[in-house]
Amino acid sequence: MVQPTRIRPTTVPLFEVLTMALSALWSNRLRTALTMLGVIIGIASVITVTSVGQGVQKATEQQIQALGSNVMLVLSGVARSGGISQGSGSASTLTWEDAQAVASQAPSAKAVTAYLQRSTQVVYSGQNTSTSLLGVDLNYPEVKNIYPQVGQFFNQDDLDTAKPVTVLGSKVRDELFGSASNAIGNSIRIQGGSYTVIGVMEPKGSVGGQDQDDRVYIPLTNMSSRIVGNNAINGISISGFWLQAENDAELEAAQFQVTNLLRIRHNIYPPQPDDFRLSNQIDIINAFGNIVGLFTVMVGAIAGISLIVGGIGIANIMLVSVVERTREIGIRKAVGATNSAVLSQFLTEAIVVSIIGGAIGIALGVGLAFAAAQLFRFPFVVSLWSIAAGLVLSTTVGLIAGVIPARNAARLDPIAALRSD
């Protein structure tokens, strides 16, 4: 009986290809490690930058949410000196009566609190510090979601009689009295006047570059009559007021109602410009998110350049490897290795280098992001899409970088390759 002819397989099993690739890479460990370096740096940079950007954004959102996301700020107009704008709230275009009218006439307004703000220096027993002085009414704690941690806030009698009492921010308390001291009952001096400390606010941190704890609060009536001393013609001048709506969805309606009410009260008719400005916490969150997003994309793109450099490095090393292993390729092809088998081996080597480098880069990036979050005290956020993107990018880099060297190796003539030294 004639035995059937056995056809040798023209393809090499994937496991065997992978084993040969790992063996070749391990035999040149230093060169392999240096080749991976570009991919490691690129992937680690992308993940670190993305994580830090998301962490900072989340921290800011949490801080703003802590002060109330259903809150809108209405600022008085802009004063100009020598043609230079002094910033929103610098002109005396809003009054306490405006705020009270909004509170009573705007259906979307749950609560309204007016404030008058100046920078000042406060003194206690030889200790002094520069801070922000806010004259506020009784609704401030509710609207701004900040309450005394120690002592109490003002009462109606304090407001009606312009009593010289004060509530300190936690940072001011620490600088004047020390964090372990009880400041209640002590007197501090504000612009030459003596004010009795009746409370210390709970710490809130910094939001939008403004330290919520570096503040001193006094009754709005006292601030107007004794500190600022410049009441408006019709009422008490204020820097602005905060409006609290029932929920986030009511902010748009509140903005419409406040705008029209203030235009009527201030006799403003189109095309006259408004002498006030509105902004809400949602706008601040969105604006900050856009800024952080753009910054993250920009820095991530810059970090991605190192991936390109890493890909070029892989391509160069693989080309050198083809030249160094020309005789080996010739022997393999002489004993029956096909072009596709040689192509698969060199392409697999390039991809393996990139995948291992990508895995190390992901681990390094996550570690750096965690360290940054602990050091700068913001939430540690690593999204799955950034890790997946890192793996896809590293694999793609290896695939692209390995194509030309692998193709060159597969096209070598076995006879010419065997003659090579």
pLDDT (tens digit per residue) in 34-77 = 878 878 888 888 888 888 888 887 887 777 666 666 888 999 87
Query: Of 245-259, 269-283, 325-339, 375-389, where does the model show the most confidence?
Result: 245-259
Q: Is 23 exposed, middle or buried (0-12, 13-18, 19+ CB in 10 A)?
A: exposed
Please report the pLDDT score of residue 202 as a whole number.
93
Check whether 406 has a pLDDT greater than 60.
yes
pLDDT, tens digit (0-9, with 9 covering 90-100), for 214-263: 999 999 999 998 888 765 566 788 999 999 998 878 888 999 999 999 99
pTM of the full structure: 0.64
Q: Beta 127-136 vs 215-219: how paired, if at all?
A: parallel
What value does the mean pLDDT take over residues 286-314?
A: 74
Answer with the residue of higher pLDDT: 385 or 278.
278
Check whether 172 has a pLDDT greater than 90.
yes
Angle subtended by helix axes 281-324 and 384-410, to nearest 10: 20
Check whether 80 has a pLDDT greater than 70.
no
pLDDT, tens digit (0-9, with 9 covering 90-100), for 266-294: 999 888 999 899 987 777 767 777 777 78
Distance, CA of 345 to CA of 89 (rounded, Å):
70
Contacts of 154 (CB under 8 A, 6+ apart): 136, 138, 163, 165, 167, 198, 217, 219
Please report the pLDDT score of residue 339 as a whole number.
82
The model's confidence at residue 394, banded by pLDDT at 50, 70 and 90, is confident
Check whether 3 has a pLDDT greater than 60.
no
Answer with the residue of higher pLDDT: 112 or 49.
112
Please report the pLDDT score of residue 91 as a whole number.
65
The model's confidence at residue 8, banded by pLDDT at 50, 70 and 90, is very low
What value does the mean pLDDT take over residues 178-196?
A: 90
Check whether 171 has a pLDDT greater than 90.
yes
Which residues share a beta bridge with 240? Answer: 75, 115
Please report the pLDDT score of residue 208 as a whole number.
61
Lowest mean pLDDT across 37-51, 346-360, 404-418: 404-418
User: What mean pLDDT is reported for the chain?
Assistant: 83
The model's confidence at residue 1, banded by pLDDT at 50, 70 and 90, is very low
What value does the mean pLDDT take over residues 290-304?
A: 74
Distance, CA of 387 to CA of 363 (rounded, Å):
9
Share of the chain above pLDDT 70, in %: 86
Please report the pLDDT score of residue 10 as a whole number.
47
Please report the pLDDT score of residue 9 as a whole number.
47
Distance, CA of 340 to CA of 40 (rounded, Å):
29
The model's confidence at residue 204, banded by pLDDT at 50, 70 and 90, is confident
Please report the pLDDT score of residue 99 as a whole number.
95
The model's confidence at residue 123, banded by pLDDT at 50, 70 and 90, is very high
Please report the pLDDT score of residue 194 as a whole number.
96
Check whether 408 has a pLDDT greater than 70.
yes
Tokens representing 293 are: 């997003």
Query: Of 114-128, 336-350, 376-390, where does the model show the most confidence?
Result: 114-128
Answer with the residue of higher pLDDT: 2 or 73.
73
Tokens representing 67 are: 């002060």
Answer with the residue of higher pLDDT: 415 or 190.
190
Please report the pLDDT score of residue 223 as a whole number.
94
Answer with the residue of higher pLDDT: 90 or 276.
276
Answer with the residue of higher pLDDT: 319 or 71.
71
Residue type, 168: L
The model's confidence at residue 5, banded by pLDDT at 50, 70 and 90, is very low
Distance, CA of 52 to CA of 372 (rounded, Å):
7
Taking CA atoms, 256 is separated from 107, 252, 286, 347, 414, in Å, by 11, 6, 20, 63, 81
Please report the pLDDT score of residue 81 as a whole number.
45
Please report the pLDDT score of residue 6 as a whole number.
46
